[in-house]
Structures are given as C-alpha cells and as structure tokens.
Amino acid sequence: MNVWLVAATVLLFALVLPFSLLARAPRIDALVALELVSAVVTLVLLLLSEGFNRSIYTTVPLVLAGISLVSGLVFARFMERRV
Amino acid sequence: MSAHEIAVHVLVWTAVAAELVCCIGIVAARDVFARLHYSAAASTLGPTLVAVAIAVEEGVRSIAAAAALVVAVLLLLGGPAVTIATARAARARLER
C-alpha cells in the first residue's frame, strides 16, 4: 500500500464521526454533516485514483464535486422554505 | 526518501490531518453555525493540499494533476456557496 491508499483508508474510517451525526442530529445539522461527508468522499476518491495510478478514475471525484455542489444548494433551499 | 517524496508525504498527511480535525470538530461543535465552520474548512483546505500533492507527484502538466486541480477549484468555489446557503436556511428555521 502506498501513501495515497493509506490516507484514503484513514479518511474512510474518519467518516464514522459525521455519519453518527447524520443518524441522530436534527435535519439542518445532518445537512451540514452531509456536506462534510461529500467533501471527504470526493477527497477519498481523488486519493484512490492516484493510489491505483489510474488517471481516468479522477472523472468520478470530478462528477461528485459538481453533484455535491448542486445537491447542497438544492437541499439548503428546500430546508429554508419547506421542511 | 527524496525531497520530492517528503513533500508529497507532508502535503497528503497535512490534508488528512485537516480533514480529521473537521470530522472530530463537527461532532464536538455545539450548534449548527459552529458546525458550518468545520464543513467549510473540509471543502477548502484538504482538496487544495491533495491537488498540490498530486501535481508534485505526477507533474503539473499531467492529466491527474489537471483533474485534481479542477476538483479542488470546484470545491473551493462551491464550498462557501453551499455553506452560505445552509447558514441562511438554518437562520430561517431558527426564526420560524
């Protein structure tokens, strides 16, 4: 295992903490935790693509970064108005 | 270990440490506005450091470095926008 894969594994284990918040916190706090999780998962995918030495895999974090931006804005707008 | 490898290790582990602080801080924070600080920091510091690490490892002109840089820029620009939108939503819910 190289440094990229070890770092990705450490970050995956660290995700347990925001996931615990996602499960038990109020909705708006869970949204903040979801934003943190999406940023960390994007980083993990970036580290994995470098760790496996496949530059084509960087498409996945690229798409996730765009989707998490849009989903964060949509969720925030939805929570501001309705839920 | 060469200077090049040391630079990559320092950048990657600094990024991991920053993300770990954010993961612990978001659980330890007392309310949603304090939690937003950790969420915003996670989408700015870590991706930038990893993108620089990949650029150091692969070279600035490589495809991997370009893609990592685009991801970092997307998160850098998008993170504050999402944080502001979430803070507005939290305030609106508080006032309701």
Residue A25 φ/ψ, nearest 5 degrees: -80, 165
How much is the mean pLDDT over chain B?
A: 93
Q: Is the pLDDT of residue A83 over 80?
A: no
Residue B65 structural domain: 3-95
Whole-number Å distance between alpha carbons of B75 and A78: 21
Question: Helix, strand, or coil here: B60?
Answer: coil
pTM: 0.94
The whole-number pLDDT of residue B95 equals 84
Q: Is the pLDDT of residue B17 over 90?
A: yes
Count how many domains chain B has: 1
CA–CA distances in Å: residue B35 to residues A35, A45, B87, B88: 11, 24, 10, 14
Assign A1 a pLDDT band (cuts: 50, 70, 90): confident
Asked whether the beta carbons of residue B12 and residue A7 sit closer than 8 angstroms, the reply is yes
How much is the mean pLDDT over chain A?
A: 92
| Cα of B63 to nearest chain A Cα, Å | 7
- Rg of chain B over Cα atoms, rounded to whole angstroms, equals 16
Assign A7 a pLDDT band (cuts: 50, 70, 90): very high
Whole-number Å distance between alpha carbons of B48 and A77: 27
User: Chain A residues contacting B, CB < 8 Å?
Assistant: 3-4, 7, 10-11, 14-15, 17-18, 20-21, 26, 28-29, 31-33, 35-36, 39-40, 42-43, 46-47, 49-50, 55, 58-59, 61-62, 65-66, 68-69, 72-73, 76-77, 79-80
Three-point CA angle B55, B59, B63, nearest 5°: 80
The string of pLDDT tens digits covering residues A55-67 is 889 999 999 999 9
A20-29, A74-83, B6-15, B48-57: least confident range: A74-83
Assign A81 a pLDDT band (cuts: 50, 70, 90): confident
